Chains A and B, each alone.
Chain A
Amino acid sequence: MFRFTYNTLVYGHEPIERGIERLARFGYDGVEFIGEPGQLDAAAITRALSEHGIRASSVISIYTPERDLVSSDAAVRGRALDYLRGNVDFARAIGAEVVTFTPTACMKITPEAPLEQEWEWAVQAARAAGSHAAEQGITIAVEPWNRYETYLINRAEQAIRFVDEVGAPNVGVMLDTFHMSIEERDLAGAVRASGERLVHVHLADSNRAAPGQGHLDFAPILRAIADIGYDGWISYELLPAAGDVWGVLSGAGAPEFLDEYTGASIAHTKRVLEELGVR
């Protein structure tokens, strides 16, 4: 029932074909790409996916100060929306189903405008992106981030309220267990509350390493994901233990995120699912 994918962001600068090959080798069903259409060759990716018998699952949007959907500068908001639409087009080109959405620049932790205004800008952006995505059969996944990475949507309950306000059938909630481990009192409860709105899942342990490397109990979380009838992707977004994640990835890199965590992540989840009797 579950389909597995892995965020290739942590593979760093290696050629994307190697990442695709690795994920196929470890039994993944899909490949998650970062949203940098200008740096990635959709045709080459499609060829490599086909060669290794694996598909594209999702595109992770990278939000920077220049791609801030709630910037006080209307020009920045406009470019951010263009960027998001570009990710949708890229997703369509490589056959991915999901594009992620977070309204603020990553690591921006103070609003520039009143929160109600920023929320409204974010809702409008999600509706516009959702409309563009609907034409291409793509789903937009609204992801809460922990308090150190954003201030606007930190918790599932906020994402649920946001998605309900957007009111588009292809705009849903995404949950990431690393962020949840900081922000949610009851992780499985947050999954259940999201219910049929849940459209994408990132698993990572409490320390953002591969599941099993930290102290999260994944059994109740996976039980909840199964119980709500979730049929989307189970992805792993693992990142280095640093405030400056980009610094690590652009520097010496993080070798444990290659074969070691790629293999450990899917094996851990499959073991938990087996113990739960979930297929």
Chain B
Amino acid sequence: MSRTFGLSTFTLASPFSERDAEAFDRTAGFGYELIEVCVEDPALLSGEWLAQQAERTGLAVGICGAFGPGRDVSSPEPATREAALGYLRSCVDLAAATGSPHVAGPMYAVTGQTRMLDAEDRTAQFRRAADALAEAADYAAGRGVRLAIEALNRFETDLVNTVEQGLALCEATGAENVGLLLDTFHMNIEEKSLGDAVRLAGDRVFHVQVSENDRGTPGSGHVPWDEFFQALDDIDYDGQLVVESFLPTVREIARAVSLWRPVAPSMDALARDGLAFLREHGGGRAS
């Protein structure tokens, strides 16, 4: 079993664009094997450029979506849903062009929506999300790409907060290539037991992001890492582990994720120390 350790571009540059070739060099320089490209604006990136940079630096590429205003496949407005689907298709194209096995992220709704809906409206929203994701999954399947849905904590979304809810959404799409992205920061808030949640997800775990309870360096806080990694061993997870945090200096991001203070001495320190922690604890049984 061998897991791939990666670094999110959210720790490097935002919005990530073709002006950020240096991010590939820095990621490789830290010793990572993979760079997770967060596609904030697809117009700023081409699959060709990403593939060139990957080849130049020897890095693999993962594709992650960002679901800000307007990108809502669960919207009651057909035009909004269609625009969000168009964005997802462009992410799938980037994944296909770069060899990313997936497009990952909280793609079922616009991030930051935390409303009280009655059961009927909630069911309707869930259904719209499932139908749209089924359509995106079909497009992705034709290109050998999977969709990895990310549950977010209660303060960032009202639709999918837990693994259990994420599995229900996967199920509702009826698509084989729809699974879950697990993120330890959100799991720390929402799951009763991180280990049980991982085991419940089982072979539907398509992708993993690691982040400390305060979004700081993995290993520096109180996330129950031993339990989490043990559970990944239990399900024979051999995919990617991507270190994710956010640059508190980028105003839009700071607001989107409510990060009001530096959570590590520097992003370089977070990247280096995070990788060292993964190498020591996250490699799986064989390591």
Interface residues of A (CB under 8 A from B): 109-110, 146-149, 151, 154, 181-187, 206-207, 213-215, 241-244, 247-248, 251
Contact = CB atoms under 8 A, between A and B. Distances in A.
Nearest to A220: B222
Contacts of B273: none
Contacts of B261: 154
Contacts of A151: 258, 260
B14 interface: no
A110 B212 contact: no
Given A181-B213, A181-B222, A109 B258 contact: yes
Interface string B131-175: 000000000000000000000001110100100000000000000
B192 A110 contact: no
The A interface, classified by DSSP as helix, strand, loop or mixed, is loop
B217 to A, nearest CB: 10
Interface in B167-192: 188-192
B192 A147 contact: no
Contacts of A213: 192
B60 to A, nearest CB: 31
A214 B214 contact: no
Interface of B: 114-116, 154-156, 158, 161, 188-194, 212-214, 216, 220-222, 224, 255, 258-261
B194 A215 contact: yes
B192 A247 contact: no
Given A146-B155, A244-B114, 14 more contacts: A148-B156, A151-B260, A181-B213, A181-B222, A182-B188, A184-B213, A184-B222, A185-B214, A215-B193, A242-B154, A242-B158, A243-B114, A243-B155, A248-B116
A160 B210 CA distance: 30
The B interface, classified by DSSP as helix, strand, loop or mixed, is loop
Contact of A215 (B224, B255, B259, B260): B224
Contacts of B192: 207, 213-215
A207 B189 contact: yes
Question: What 4 A-B pairs are tightest by C-beta distance, nearest first?
Answer: A243-B114, A247-B116, A148-B155, A147-B258
Contacts of A181: 188-189, 213, 222
Contacts of A215: 188, 191-194, 224
Contacts of B191: 207, 215
12 contacts: A147-B260, A154-B261, A184-B213, A185-B212, A185-B216, A185-B222, A215-B194, A242-B116, A243-B156, A244-B115, A244-B158, A248-B116
Given A183-B214, A184-B222, A241 B190 contact: yes
Given A182-B188, A244-B114, A148 B158 contact: no
A185 B221 contact: yes
